Amino acid sequence: MEFTDKEKKTIDDRFENLVSSCLQKYSDERIEDVRKAFDFANKAHYPIRRKSGEPYILHPISVAQICGVELNMGATSIIAALLHDVVEDTDYTVEDIERYFGLEVAKMVEGLTKISGVISVSNSLQYENFKKILISMTQDIRVILIKLADRLHNIRTLDSMPRHKQLKIASETLFIFAPIAHRLGLYAVKNELEDNAFKIKQPKEFHEIEQKLKDTESHRVLFINKFTLPIAARLTEKQYDFDVSGRSKSIYSIYQKMQRKSVTFEEIYDLFAIRIIFTPKKEDGSEKEQCFKIYSIVTDIYKPRPDRLRDWVTTPKENDYEALHSTVMGPNGNWVEVQIRTVRMDNIAEYGCAAHSNYKEEQKSGKYIDKWFSHIRETMDTEDPNGSELMDNLKSTLSTNEIIVFTPKGDTRSFPIGSTALDYAYDIHKEIGNMAISAKVNYKNYPLSYVLKNGDQIEIITSKKQTPQEKWLDFVQTPRARQYLRKNLNHQSTSLAKKGRELLHNHLKEMKLVVTPRILEKIRTYFDIDQGKDDLLTYIRVAQEDISFETLKKILRQNSKEKKILFWNIGNKESNVKKNAITTSAKNNYKLAECCRPLPGDPVQGFAIKPNSIEIHHLNCPEAIKLSSQYGDKIVQVDWFSDEQKAFLTGIKLTGIDRMGIISDMTQVLTKELNINIRSLNFYSHDGIFEGAIELYVRNFDDLQEIINKLKRTKGVDKVFRSA
């Protein structure tokens, strides 16, 4: 359909706004190059429209605007952003782009085209596709920056998409793009990506927090003014050129903290942070010295919390972030986070790697980016073809939360938070890892599963008799360690599988039988091995158990494990029926995920990854986010059906003040008042404080909430919250 005069005017106005907002610093020649790219893209996309009905060219203009204004990128990047969908969506080729705009722009557009081809609403992020994305990213950092801008605009404008496509894009965003933005120091982009994805996945929770922030805004503004007034007066007295402001945390980060700490919105004390940004005085020492002088001014007014000083001025984060963070006791007994940084530091905090001038017109990487890219290439070099593991490894590589540990000689090594002594061993050398038996941490002996802490000094104890153990995979974290470990385990597994195959064949030969899929299925059922696993694992288990002739006869006499059946509403359209109602007669085998244990009434998502089977996860489960990224085309919408008789296993955790009889009071509430079946109950008390964990059976989410509310009213109980 032809564009109206009004639409044509909108297109021209949007482009002129792009020119005026971020291109005034460039020469007339460069601005003319940008106009040439716009004219080319405008004609190439004409008269294509987006799903929303608006002219498609408005999307590349918006992406270019984000690149120029929000990411502080240069003219070459803006040109590539305007052209980023031309090769993907029209008859023009990369060669055409090179002929009109040169090799540099053509390579950027080609990289963006490869990424667009493998990250779309119709494709899943499988192993080979993901390698293409990583290769494109490591060849030119600007490619991934433009892709982030593209994703940011797309997630801002998803209203016209079907629900199942919205969920796929939101999960991809949380799993891949927000962590990349975080790793590159693009905190504003990361926060907006997360908030928009959260709004799509869990609109109810998003709007509840959004409304509570609005309701408390006036109170927050009054508090910020009261808190900052004496600081501003002292800084003015010291003749600093500064700006003091208060900024609320993102909605998604608030939600995460509520979940992580099992607290309500009202119980979070650090909903906002005070930011002091100043221009250093030339005669007043280094930036570091002046940051600490301002810190001293703040702590003269408000008492600091000693354990909450974060000095990223002396030792910047790996993505170059610099600032002093401190938590101080403000008026009315409230803890307040204060961030102190110079204008230069703030520029890096806002724009990340794009703040450096060499990203404006050149593709050179700094030391941090080069180091990160080397980690990514190392991840891609893994011999394991499992796409799921590649993405897990990348997730670790994307992590910005790192700790520093010391070798016995005092050298430092950095690791993602959660890394273990075994990760350290493999980081030193693969043979050290293979022969590791324990670790000395700060001169004390610990197992290899010990989780590293900031400042630990570590020595690995080895033995030539040691061999890699499969159980190590349960706690090893880094891609390097996992790759070395799996390589050695694969070698061991080949030998075990051979032994198991021979053992099974010999036993079956005595019975005058041969190996069949049916026999292997019975063995898998007996050992509780996933039926989707290959035969290799079955043979390994036969060897490990040294299965006897009599045991095999017993296994073959048993019936296959019965599978549960449940009715689900399956499809890609939104269901308008009430919760817990059957909406179709589609009958499928299902499995409730152990990682999140969804209950009737929870928002859930199904994955039809295996034939005739659906795996059900809580919508906010990290594993569901990962699966949505990998298997977007396998997502199915599911609704709970009404089954008053069925009970579901779930867990709760409790903390509080210990007293005589408190456990008896709680079990009385559960068994006598609520008639709840308890599976297990564990309590630990120390210095008058108790922590407890209870596994129990409930019918639905509402039942669980009633249990939590009742237990909260028990004398001495402080917190009660759900656990997986």
- What is the model's pLDDT at position 516? 85
| CATH number, residue 54 | 1.10.3210.10
Query: Does 173 lie in the same domain as 246?
Result: no
Confirm whether 88 is a catalytic residue.
yes
Q: Pick the residue with more confidence: 393 or 237? A: 237
- What is the model's pLDDT at position 263? 83
Confirm whether 89 is a catalytic residue.
yes
Mean pLDDT, all residues of the chain: 83
Q: Tokens 């706004």 belong to which residue?
A: 17
Residue of 33, 54, 85, 89 marked catalytic: 89
Residue 700 covered by a domain: yes
Which of residues 201, 223, 251 is at a domain's end?
201
| CATH number, residue 374 | 3.10.20.30
Please give the structure tokens belonging to residue 177.
């793009």
- What is the model's pLDDT at position 123? 44
- What is the model's pLDDT at position 303? 94
Strands 613-618 and 587-592: parallel
Q: How far apart are CA 454 and CA 418, in angstroms?
A: 11
Which of residues 611, 636, 661 is at a domain's end?
636
Q: Pick the residue with more confidence: 142 or 629? A: 142
Contact at 8 Å (CB) between 348 and 355? yes
Q: Pick the residue with more confidence: 55 or 542? A: 55
Query: Does 131 lie in the same domain as 110?
Result: yes
Strands 677-686 and 272-279: unpaired
| CATH number, residue 305 | 3.30.460.10
Instruction: Give 604-627 pLDDT, tens digit per residue.
Output: 888 888 777 888 999 888 888 888
Phi, psi angles (nearest 5°) of residue 59: -65, -55
Query: Does 548 lie in the same domain as 441?
Result: no
Query: Does 294 lie in the same domain as 165?
Result: no
Q: Would the pLDDT of 146 be above 70?
A: yes
Query: What is the 3-state composition of the chain as percent helix, strand, coil, each rounded to the nearest 5?
Result: 50, 15, 30
Least confident of 114-123, 442-451, 518-527, 617-626: 114-123
- What is the model's pLDDT at position 496? 81
Contact at 8 Å (CB) between 395 and 454? no
Query: Does 585 lie in the same domain as 545?
Result: no
Please give the structure tokens belonging to residue 639.
């609704």
Residue type, 706: E
Where does the pLDDT of residue 547 fall: very low under 50, low under 70, confident under 90, or very high at 90 and above? confident
Instruction: Give 99-119 pLDDT, tens digit per residue.
Output: 999 999 999 998 888 676 545
Least confident of 143-152, 215-224, 393-402, 482-491: 393-402
Least confident of 49-63, 98-112, 113-127, 417-431: 113-127
Q: Distances in Å between the alpha carbon of 261 and those of 20, 268, 363, 596, 625?
A: 46, 9, 42, 17, 21
Overall number of domains in the chain: 6
Q: Pick the residue with more confidence: 297 or 314? A: 297
Query: Does 165 lie in the same domain as 77?
Result: yes
Q: How far apart are CA 654 and CA 722, in angstroms?
A: 9
Where does the pLDDT of residue 477 fall: very low under 50, low under 70, confident under 90, or very high at 90 and above? confident
Residue 698 covered by a domain: yes
Helix or strand (DSSP H, E) at 536: helix 535-545
Query: Does 494 lie in the same domain as 395?
Result: no
Q: How far apart are CA 154 and CA 165, in angstroms?
A: 12
Please give the structure tokens belonging to residue 396.
């670790």
Query: Does 432 lie in the same domain as 380?
Result: yes
Distance of CA 402 to the CA centre of its chain: 15
Where does the pLDDT of residue 562 fall: very low under 50, low under 70, confident under 90, or very high at 90 and above? very low
Where is mean pLDDT largest: 57-66, 155-164, 307-316? 57-66
Instruction: Give 637-681 pLDDT, tens digit per residue.
Output: 787 876 556 788 899 999 999 888 899 999 999 988 888 889 889
Range of the domain at 624: 565-636
Query: Does 718 lie in the same domain as 654?
Result: yes
- Max distance between CA atoms of the chain, in angstroms, equals 96
In 3D space, the residue among 523, 550, 549, 551 whose CA is nearest the CA of residue 536 turns out to be 523
Residue 360 covered by a domain: no
Q: Would the pLDDT of 362 be above 50?
A: no
- What is the model's pLDDT at position 368? 60
Mean pLDDT of 14-32: 90
Q: Would the pLDDT of 383 be above 60?
A: no
Q: Would the pLDDT of 188 be above 60?
A: yes
Least confident of 149-153, 300-304, 320-324: 320-324
Helix or strand (DSSP H, E) at 572: none
Strands 272-279 and 335-342: parallel
Residue 680 covered by a domain: yes
Residue 66 covered by a domain: yes
Residue 581 covered by a domain: yes
Q: Pick the residue with more confidence: 580 or 238? A: 238
Least confident of 78-82, 113-117, 566-570: 566-570
Query: Does 522 lie in the same domain as 497?
Result: yes
Q: Would the pLDDT of 393 be above 80?
A: no
Query: Does 185 lie in the same domain as 80?
Result: yes
Query: Does 262 lie in the same domain as 134?
Result: no
Q: Would the pLDDT of 579 be above 50?
A: no
Query: What is the SS3 assignment for 605?
Result: strand
Which of residues 326, 355, 384 is at a domain's end?
355
Residue of 7, 29, 85, 88 marked catalytic: 88
- What is the model's pLDDT at position 182? 86
Mean pLDDT of 378-400: 59
Residue 609 covered by a domain: yes
Please give the structure tokens belonging to residue 145.
């920056």
Residue 477 covered by a domain: no
Contact at 8 Å (CB) between 477 and 424? no
Instruction: Give 304-347 pLDDT, tens digit per residue.
Output: 998 889 898 988 877 778 999 999 999 888 889 999 999 999 98
- What is the model's pLDDT at position 534? 66
